């Protein structure tokens, strides 16, 4: 009795099997290296040391980078009123050419000063800052407050991790 079922592909090979030719090695391609940054805090407690530990780069504290430090600067401030008030004057130093020679301002990093949403007046200040410079936001991370800086950076900071070359 013959059925009309379709048969699968033939699995037997007859005759010698040819050894595939080895592919030529791929030419070496230049790889981009992660750009190094100097983190500069605009006020005490901004979070510079934590960010430098998590994302890499030079922990400049509140001082401008020295001659041997990376020349690309990420300014850091908390999202409370005093922290946001410190951002615009610092950005203006770069705009007017009054920052130390050879430094490049790449962005401002705003670190949450508390869990939850920002009050409307602070949101308006952040929008003003975002209108003049690139801004990266870092949410409140309870583990960081407890000193646990291991693990992956928060998902919300993927753009910052890509900028700094930190592993995601």
CB within 8 Å of 136: residues ≥ 6 apart: 74, 107, 108, 109, 110, 157, 159, 160, 163
What's the domain count of the chain?
Answer: 1
Residue 148 has pLDDT above 90, yes or no: yes
- Gap between the terminal Cα atoms of the chain: 61
CB within 8 Å of 39: residues ≥ 6 apart: 48, 51, 52, 57, 58, 59, 60, 74, 76, 109
Q: Is residue 84 part of a domain?
A: yes
For 73-94, give the DSSP string: EEEEEESSHHHHHHHHHHHHHH
> What local confidence, expressed as pLDDT, does residue 18 receive?
60
Full residue range of the structural domain in which residue 46 is found: 38-164
Residue 25 has pLDDT above 70, yes or no: no
CB 93 within 8 A of CB 99: yes
Q: Is residue 152 part of a domain?
A: yes
Q: How far is CA 47 from the centre of its chain?
A: 15
Q: Does residue 107 sit in helix, strand or coil?
A: strand
> What local confidence, expressed as pLDDT, does residue 22 receive?
63
Model's pTM, two decimal places? 0.79
What does the pLDDT look like over 90-140, one tens digit per residue?
Answer: 999 999 999 999 999 999 999 999 999 999 999 999 999 999 999 999 999
> What local confidence, expressed as pLDDT, does residue 166 receive?
87
> What local confidence, expressed as pLDDT, does residue 125 receive?
97
């Amino acid at each position: 009795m013959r059925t009309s079922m379709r048969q699968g592909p033939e699995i037997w090979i007859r005759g010698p099997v040819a050894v595939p030719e080895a592919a030529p090695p791929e030419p070496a391609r230049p790889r981009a290296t992660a750009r190094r940054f100097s983190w500069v805090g605009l006020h005490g407690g901004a979070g510079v040391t934590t960010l430098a530990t998590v994302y890499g780069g030079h922990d400049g504290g509140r001082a401008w980078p020295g001659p041997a430090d990376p020349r690309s600067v990420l300014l850091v401030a908390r999202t409370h009123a005093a922290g946001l008030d410190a951002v615009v004057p610092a950005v203006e130093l770069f705009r007017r050419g009054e920052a130390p020679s050879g430094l490049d301002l790449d962005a401002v990093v705003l670190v949450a000063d508390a869990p939850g949403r920002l009050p409307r007046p602070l949101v308006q200040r952040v929008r003003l800052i975002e209108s003049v410079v690139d801004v990266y936001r870092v949410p409140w991370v309870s583990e960081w407050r407890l000193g646990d800086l291991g693990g992956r950076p928060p998902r919300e900071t993927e753009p910052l991790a890509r900028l700094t070359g930190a592993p995601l």
